[in-house]
């Protein structure tokens, strides 16, 4: 059985010399990243710089844009947080338990990817509008999902779910049960074992899932516009404002809002990845 030894301090400093492929993988990664992502994104930044700094600032701080950014970022944040426990729960159940229909559920997890986002938006609205199967159950309780920010969060939970599950699942799968068994046999309760032995090892994966779900959902357009109602200052998302700019052939304005979103996302991603790096250090790789 695999025993995960804690790394000895000197291993780290030796690593670069021992393992091969640093130059090759660095070179290829940077090349591919530049070609597919960075150069095209640079074109976007160049386009946005077609606006004078003052114009950019006026656009970026206009109440409409600020409100759109607030709706997009807060919805994505809430949805990704909701997805942490839901994703962990589903991954746990799928890896650790046997029950009828398990394989089918495992297969279903990726559904939100494969369904075109517009179909997802239409389908969720069908279900959660007051005429829908779920919506007419919630309506008497006074809960309105469709055409409110709750609807946006719901769509984003749907879109982000596979990330939350699939990030944790392989790590959980590779995580033997030996350490837990040891903990249990030493007299720890199940709750203690979970929170002190299992959870810390899953933490980097959980954070990765959160980060991915957040990144993916913050710019989501197709599924959201059907369920959000798109009311300015209430449920209007930032990507819709980008589309509105494009409709008036204002490429620079569209690029400016996009760059703004991108900058904010990048800051959040760096923060999340730093947290993740710290978490994996705690786990001891």
Partner 1 sequence: MKFLPTLVITSLAAVITSSALTQSNTVTLLNVSYDPTRELYQAINPAFSKTYAAKTGKTVTINQSHGGSGAQARAVIDGLEADVVTLALAWDIDAIADKGLLGKDWQYLLGNNSSPYTSTIVFLVRKGNPKGIKDWDDLVKPGVQVITPNPKTSGGARWNFLAAWGHALKKTGSEAGAKAFVGKLYQNVPVLDSGARGSTTTFVERGIGDVLLAWENEAILAIREQKDKFEIVAPPTSILAEPPVAVVEKNAAKHGTTEVAKAYLQFLYTPEGQEIIAKNYYRPRNPSVAKKYAAQFPKLKFFTLRSTFGNWRDTQKKFFTDNGVFDQIYQPR
Partner 2 sequence: MRRAVALPSAARVSPLKAHSRAEPLWLKWSLIGLALFFVVLLLVLPLVTVFYEALRAGISRYGASITDPDALKAIGLTLGVIAIAVPLNTLFGVAAAWLIAKFRFPGRSLLISLIDLPLAVSPVIAGLIYVLLFGRQGVLGLWLEAQNIKIIFATPGIALATTFVTFSFVARELIPVMQSQGREEEEAAVTLGARGWQVFRFVTLPNVKWGLLYGIIMCNARAMGEFGAVSVVSGKIRGLTATVPLQIEMLYNEYNTVSAFAIASLLAALALVTLVVKALLEWRGKLEAKSQS
- Residue 230, binding choice from partner 2, partner 1, none, Cβ under 5 to 8 Å by partner class: partner 1
Nearer to partner 1, 208 or 224 (CB): 224
Q: Does 184 bind partner 2 (CB under 8 A)?
A: yes
- Residue 110, binding choice from partner 2, partner 1, none, Cβ under 5 to 8 Å by partner class: partner 2
Residue list 119-178, contact with partner 2 (CB under 8 A):
119-120, 122-124, 126-127, 133-134, 157-158, 161-162, 166-167, 169-171, 173-177
CB of 110 to partner 1, least distance (A): 15
Residue list 53-112, contact with partner 2 (CB under 8 A):
86, 89-90, 92-99, 103, 105-112
Among positions 118, 143, 182, 282, the unique one binding partner 2 when judged by CB under 8 A: 118
Q: What's the half-sphere exposure (Cβ side, CA atoms, 13 Å) at 276?
A: 17
CA–CA dist 161, 15 (Å, integer) = 36
DSSP string, 35-98: IIIIHHHHHHHHHHTTS-HHHHHHHHTSHHHHHHHHHHHHHHHHHHHHHHHHHHHHHHHHHH--
Q: What's the half-sphere exposure (Cβ side, CA atoms, 13 Å) at 39?
A: 7
Residue list 46-75, contact with partner 1 (CB under 8 A):
59, 62-64, 67
Name which of 209, 260, 226 is nearest 85 in CA terms.
Answer: 209
Q: How many residues belong to the site for partner 1 (CB under 8 A)?
A: 31
């Amino acid at each position: 059985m695999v025993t995960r030894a804690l790394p000895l301090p000197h291993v780290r400093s030796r690593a670069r010399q021992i393992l091969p492929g640093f130059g090759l993988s660095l070179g290829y990664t940077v090349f591919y990243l530049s070609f597919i992502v960075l150069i095209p994104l640079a074109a976007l930044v160049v386009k946005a710089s077609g606006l004078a700094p003052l114009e950019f600032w006026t656009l970026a701080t206009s109440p409409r844009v600020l409100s759109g950014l607030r709706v997009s970022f807060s919805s994505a944040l809430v949805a990704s947080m909701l997805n942490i426990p839901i994703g962990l729960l589903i991954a746990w159940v799928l890896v650790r338990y046997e029950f009828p229909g398990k394989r089918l559920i495992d297969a279903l997890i990726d559904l939100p990817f494969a369904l075109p986002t517009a179909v997802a938006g239409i389908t969720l609205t069908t279900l959660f509008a007051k005429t829908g199967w779920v919506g007419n159950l919630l309506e008497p309780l006074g809960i309105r999902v469709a055409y409110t920010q709750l609807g946006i969060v719901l769509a984003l939970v749907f879109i982000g779910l596979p990330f939350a599950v699939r990030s944790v699942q392989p790590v959980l799968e590779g995580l033997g049960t030996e350490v837990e068994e040891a903990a249990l046999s030493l007299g720890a309760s199940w709750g203690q074992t979970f929170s002190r032995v299992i959870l810390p090892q899953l933490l980097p994966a959980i954070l990765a899932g959160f980060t991915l779900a957040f990144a993916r959902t913050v710019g989501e357009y197709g599924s959201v516009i059907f369920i959000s109602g798109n009311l300015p200052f209430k449920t209007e998302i930032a990507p819709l404002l980008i589309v509105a700019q494009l409709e008036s052939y204002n490429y620079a304005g569209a690029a400016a809002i996009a760059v703004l979103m991108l900058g904010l996302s990048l800051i959040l991603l760096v923060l999340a990845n730093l947290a993740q790096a710290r978490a994996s250090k705690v786990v001891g790789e």
